[in-house]
Structure 1
Amino acid sequence: MDININIKRLSPDVVIPKYGHVLDAGFDLVASEDVIIEPGETKLVPTGLALDIPYGYILEIRPHSGITLKTRLRVQLGMVDSVYNGEIGVIVDNIWREECGSTPRLCILNGKTEYLDGIYYPKFTYLIRKGDRIAQGVIKPIEYAVFTEAAALGDSDRGTSQFKV
């Protein structure tokens, strides 16, 4: 089922999301500006997009598998509700890596310190460039729950055990 999502570019050169293949579940979210993420840092990577998500749906922000596999950048899962119409951002952690990933244009700055645009950065700093595919978005329908307080809950095989090792 196709659903229309109105989209607003917050600057004229921002990339409109698109699906890589016809049957892909997720569409690419692209960085709208250069972002430098030093080791141990968490940054919000802007997309330059605002979406009008219909009531009853959410946008899930998910990691781009190539970035997760080839770098030490970790995209945090995110959820955008239909009532939010501001800029979509992607939260990214740099958990460090010693070698450059093979993802095009997304590369670590190697060396003890690196000099970029007149600034020295620590070893293992990542540069996400404007136009890099940084995450995927998935539009999903949601169901609303009605919570009812109960004195007891039903039985299950697992019971109250939390984690199995």
Structure 2
Amino acid sequence: MIGRKLNVKVADGMQVPRYAHDGDAGLDLRITETVTLEPMQRCIVGCGLSIEIPSGCVGLLFPRSGLASKQGITLAHSVGVIDSGYRGEVCAPLINLSYETVTIEAGTRVCQLVVMPYVPCELVPVEELSGTERGTDGFGSTGVV
């Protein structure tokens, strides 16, 4: 595998995360404690590691699709952003979108971390933006079919 190095500090009893398969974009992250969530309840739970995102990159936390589709457990913020300067523990803000109470055991893989480069932009104040075919048409402007 070719890529950048990602320094990882794991908490006692936790393992260094890994890619489930060659070619996977996301590293599976596990939670450090058992949590029980009532319907629509949220909580923040640690993943037992701190990381050093390389400069010029961002860490993105995504829900695990199986947990979300089968049990209704997803990330409360949809996608989390971890900046390269952050050195604290990676945490998962979980929410139960199901109608059932759900218990998630310590060690369960709840989200995945994707590290990718980003493009910083210089903000240039202007009076007008260039025109496009879409223009200012917003949500749903292209229809549903």
TM normalised by structure 2 equals: 0.90
> Which structure would you say has the larger Rg?
1
Equivalenced residues, count: 138
| Residue 135 (structure 2) aligns with | 159
Contact 2:64 2:74 in 1 (8 A): no
Gap regions ≥5 residues in structure 2: none
Is 1:52 equivalent to 2:28 in the alignment?
no
Q: What is the alpha-carbon distance in structure 1 between the residues aligned to residue 47 and residue 15 of structure 2?
A: 8
The residue number in structure 2 matching 1:91 is 93
Residue equivalent to 1:118: none
**Would you say 1:29 and 2:5 are equivalent positions?**
no
Answering whether residue 121 of structure 2 is matched by residue 141 of structure 1, we say no
Task: Confirm or deny: 8 A CA contact 2:49 2:89 kept in the other structure.
Answer: yes
Counterparts of 1:44 and 1:134, CA distance in 2: 12
For structure 1, list consecutive stretches of 5 or more residues without a partner in the other structure: 98-123
Q: 1:81 aligns with which of 66, 80, 83?
A: 83
How far is 1:54 from its partner?
Answer: 1.4
3-state SS of 2:32 partner = coil
Alpha-carbon separation, structure 2, partners of 1:65 and 1:95: 13
TM-score (norm: length of structure 1)? 0.80
Structure 1 distance, partners of 2:5, 2:72, is 35
Q: Distance in 2 between matches of 1:132 and 1:7?
A: 19
| Residues in 2 aligned to 1:42 and 1:140: alpha-carbon distance in whole angstroms | 28
Partner Cα distance (1:70, 1:96) in 2: 9
Q: Identity over the aligned pairs, expressed in percent?
A: 31
- In 2, the alpha carbon distance for the partners of 1:64 and 1:73 equals 9
**Structure 1 vs Structure 2 CA RMSD:** 1.2
Deviation at 1:95, TM superposition (A): 1.5
Answer yes or no: is the 8 Å Cα contact 2:31–2:46 preserved in 1: yes
2:32–2:107 CA contact under 8 A, matched in 1: yes
Q: Aligned partners of 1:96, 1:83: CA distance in 2, in Å?
A: 35
Measured after TM superposition, the shift of residue 74 of structure 1 is: 1.8
Verify the 8 A CA contact 1:15 1:131 in the aligned structure 2.
no
Contact 2:71 2:102 in 1 (8 A): no
Give the distance between the partners of 1:51 and 1:62, measured in 2 at CA: 16
